[in-house]
Amino acid sequence: PQRKVKENVKSKSGFTRPSPLYNKLLLQRDLTGLIIEALHQVAEDVNLKVKNSVHGHAITTIATTLVCNLQSSDTPLPKSLIEQLTSKIWYFLSLGDSERTYSAQNEMVWHGFFNMWVDRKTTDDLIHVFMDFLPSDTNIDELFKTVRICIFNLAVLARTQRDTMDYQSETAESASTIELSIEEEQALRYFAGYFPYNLKKKYVRRDNIKCRAYISILDDMRDDSQNVSDISKQWVSKQDRGGLFAVSDASYLFFKHVEIVCAKHLRTCQIDGYNGKNIQQPLVGDILSKKCVHKAWSTISRKAISDEVAATLLNNVVRLYVTIRCFSFAKSIVELYKSKKKAHIKGSKGLRKSLT
């Protein structure tokens, strides 16, 4: 019988879902503008303007009229409609917040949207309101089709708005504190291959279903292309003497996001604040709270047999990276201490001089 391998029960403990900056109140504030933008996209949709389209031209005409009248009207959209739409949109936008991978989060969001989309009430409410901004002879069937496309565009815009604000906040935070030099990027791409290589060796020895699933993802992290146009890839290619695990661009981007978080925490100027503290767990938690890390990992683990496999392997990769990074940081602290002590001894008086 196949020997069972006990999984690391601590692998889930490092997971924390990023706290979204874009909230329900901000969505309600932006909703009127998003509705107008969704209608504008309908009006400019080239697929609806095809020469022989049956309903396309009528739909774009209705959408254009609505955009013009909504923008020029002094009468805002009814508050009750805005509040109801906000609640429905926010419900499906936040459905995936408890999921452990970005792909699972995405699936939950769009499943929730579909349930809302098939419900005619939202469509009927919008048709009733839009009729006040359209000529009385507007064809209801064509207005129905316009509203259906508008609702889909609105969902995409709201999702993009939320993701963009959260991602820009992370990017701005990273850019304001950490920027890797060319030499650091070269070194990062070089040693990033150690982590999939090390984990793969461990999982090969275990040889069970989950480990084979992990190995499949780790193999996808390898770069098999011959394109070395990137400066860091050129440098790594020159260092390779055979057997080097060169990571793909997607894997490198993932490790770059991880390293930027590590570099923010592991600074020699912050040594006093770490006295007697375990910095590994907070560091793992901060890395796993970054949406950019989850997005990059979802690209790597797109072929995972389950979200649980992708999430567990993500935790294992991050924990190994943090462990190695903290060892390196500890070594630099020891070297700094030795150099300071040596400089102090060199600058102090000798025993004979101090006695005279």
pLDDT tens-digit profile of 124-143? 999 999 999 999 999 999 99
Is residue 55 in a domain? yes
Within this chain, do residues 159 and 206 fall inside the same structural domain, yes or no? no
Residue 125 contacts by C-beta under 8 Å, 6 or more apart in sequence?
81, 84
Is residue 171 in a domain? no
> Residue 2's closest CA among 212, 200, 305, 196?
212
- Taking the C-alpha atoms of residue 26 and residue 324, their distance in angstroms, rounded to an integer, is 41
The answer to whether the CB of 96 falls within 8 A of the CB of 109 is: yes
pLDDT band for 158, please (50, 70, 90 cuts). Answer: very high
- Quote the domain boundaries for residue 328: 182-347
Is residue 161 in a domain? yes
pLDDT of amino acid 305: 83
Q: Does residue 55 have a pLDDT over 50? A: yes
- Taking the C-alpha atoms of residue 122 and residue 77, their distance in angstroms, rounded to an integer, is 14
Is residue 341 in a domain? yes
Residue type, 74: D
- Taking the C-alpha atoms of residue 252 and residue 258, their distance in angstroms, rounded to an integer, is 10
Place of tokens 């850019």: 175
- Taking the C-alpha atoms of residue 95 and residue 300, their distance in angstroms, rounded to an integer, is 23
Q: What is the Cα Rg of the chain in Å?
A: 28
Is residue 4 in a domain? no
Is residue 354 in a domain? no
Within this chain, do residues 221 and 144 fall inside the same structural domain, yes or no? no
Within this chain, do residues 220 and 157 fall inside the same structural domain, yes or no? no
User: What is the domain count for the chain?
Assistant: 2
Within this chain, do residues 334 and 257 fall inside the same structural domain, yes or no? yes
The answer to whether the CB of 69 falls within 8 A of the CB of 130 is: no
Q: Does residue 93 have a pLDDT over 60? A: yes
Within this chain, do residues 203 and 157 fall inside the same structural domain, yes or no? no
pLDDT of amino acid 125: 94
Residue type, 91: Y
Within this chain, do residues 88 and 203 fall inside the same structural domain, yes or no? no
Q: Does residue 74 have a pLDDT over 60? A: yes
Residue 104 contacts by C-beta under 8 Å, 6 or more apart in sequence?
96, 307
Residue type, 35: I
Is residue 175 in a domain? no
The answer to whether the CB of 292 falls within 8 A of the CB of 166 is: no
Q: Does residue 20 have a pLDDT over 50? A: yes
Tell me 74's DSSP state: S
Within this chain, do residues 257 and 336 fall inside the same structural domain, yes or no? yes
Q: What is the mean pLDDT of residues 55-72?
A: 95
- To the nearest 10 degrees (0 to 180), the angle between helices 79-93 and 140-177 is 60
Q: Of 117, 133, 166, which residue is a domain's last?
A: 166
Phi, psi dihedral angles at 247 (to 5 degrees): -85, 155
Q: What is the mean pLDDT of residues 284-289?
A: 87
Within this chain, do residues 65 and 141 fall inside the same structural domain, yes or no? yes
Q: Of 111, 134, 166, which residue is a domain's last?
A: 166
Note the pLDDT tens digit of each residue in 178-235: 678 888 888 888 889 999 999 999 999 987 889 999 999 999 998 866 555 566 667 6
- Beta bridge partner(s), residue 222: 247
Structure token digits, residue 136:
């009385």
What's the mean pLDDT when you consider all of the chain? 82
The answer to whether the CB of 126 falls within 8 A of the CB of 142 is: no
Structure token digits, residue 118:
């098939």
Is residue 5 in a domain? no
Within this chain, do residues 192 and 138 fall inside the same structural domain, yes or no? no
- Taking the C-alpha atoms of residue 200 and residue 214, their distance in angstroms, rounded to an integer, is 8
> Residue 219's closest CA among 181, 256, 193, 258?
193
Higher pLDDT, 123 or 279: 123
Within this chain, do residues 321 and 208 fall inside the same structural domain, yes or no? yes
- To the nearest 10 degrees (0 to 180), the angle between helices 140-177 and 102-117 is 160
Within this chain, do residues 90 and 114 fall inside the same structural domain, yes or no? yes
DSSP SS3 for 240? coil
The structure's pTM equals 0.63
C-alpha distances in Å from residue 131, one per residue of 62, 89, 136, 140, 144: 10, 22, 7, 9, 11
- Taking the C-alpha atoms of residue 281 and residue 311, their distance in angstroms, rounded to an integer, is 17
- Taking the C-alpha atoms of residue 118 and residue 116, their distance in angstroms, rounded to an integer, is 6
pLDDT of amino acid 244: 80
> Residue 67's closest CA among 45, 47, 38, 89?
38
